[in-house]
Amino acid sequence: MPEPGVPLGRLGFGVASLGNLFMELSDERAFEILDEAWAAGIRSFDTAPHYGLGLSERRIGTFLATKPRDEFVLSTKVGRLLEPDPGADGLDDEGFRVPATMKRVWGFDADAVRRSLDASLERLGLDRVDIVYIHDPERSDIGLDAALATAVPAVAALRDEGVVGQVGIGTMVNEAVVAAVRTGALDLAMIANRLTLADHSALDEAVPACREHGVGVVAAAVFNTGLLAHAEPHGRFEYADADPQLLRRVRRIAAVCASHGVDVPTAALHYPLRRGAQTVVVGANGPGQIAQNAARLETHVPEELWAELEADGL
């Protein structure tokens, strides 16, 4: 399969937070975080038009324009076109703290995919990206099968023409991963929230399907939007309050980890790599987080920890 010019590496930076996900970041803070990621050795960055109605793309593009183009891998996504929405008022209603001056419009046909990528390149201020993912096709207004029927050939054409190096799907729905990779046309699957210590349902069918079809696995949202991000698990699971039963199970996992001298976030970062992922993508919305996660990924996790978790059904 075609390869990006630079290896993805074990750790990538998912920059949804730079689109003001859940909280507003100043430009200065955003670039501080990016500087920290670069200093930590991260060279793989993932964005999307969806993230902050283009704000994430503009910020990451401004930052990467200062770096040698052959030293990083950049991915973005197609499926949501951004169009002006002059009648809108207030903030975006999808969790990003940005003015609702644009609206998202689903588009998975060849023309929409091309227009989406062209618009992304304009926001990024770059002449190319390395990877394009089909973003959340199962959520589209035409349904999963219809979206994949047009989007997969469209992104494959971009790759075959040399416009991008690799193409894939980005989703948190296992069924969408399976359907997409079974086309035999994709290189990568970015699986969000489903290859984690708290939810490893991707191991049932999605990861085996990727393996069968030679598709690389990129694990995203490995902290499940917060639940696994703390030594003492608490908070959100997939953008909502964690279910009490799930919280009890994750706290049992935390106790096992602690007994082996490992915290939950460290185990959460290592787990997908043990289970078929080639890369783990994490986010950050404050200083120190990226460097801390890079250090965690270099921490030794004893085999006995994994054996105990498996023996306990965790």
Catalytic positions are 51
The two structure tokens encoding residue 260: 């082996």
Please return the burial class of 311, using the count of CB atoms within 10 Å of its CB with bins 0-12, 13-18 and 19+: exposed
Residue type, 231: A
DSSP string for residues in the chain = ----SS---SEEEEGGGGGTBSS---HHHHHHHHHHHHHTT--EEE--TTTTTTHHHHHHHHHHTTS-GGG-EEEEEESEEEEE-TT--SB-SSSB-SB--EEEEE--SHHHHHHHHHHHHHHHT-S--SEEEEE-GGGSTT-HHHHHHHHHHHHHHHHHTTS-SEEEEEES-HHHHHHHHTTS--SEEEEESSSSSS--GGGTTHHHHHHHTT-EEEEE-TTGGGTTSSSS--SEETTEEPPHHHHHHHHHHHHHHHHTT--HHHHHHHHHHHTT-SEEEE--SSTTHHHHHHHHHTS---HHHHHHHHHTT-
Q: Are strands 102-106 and 80-84 parallel, antiparallel or unpaired?
A: antiparallel
The two structure tokens encoding residue 78: 């197609």
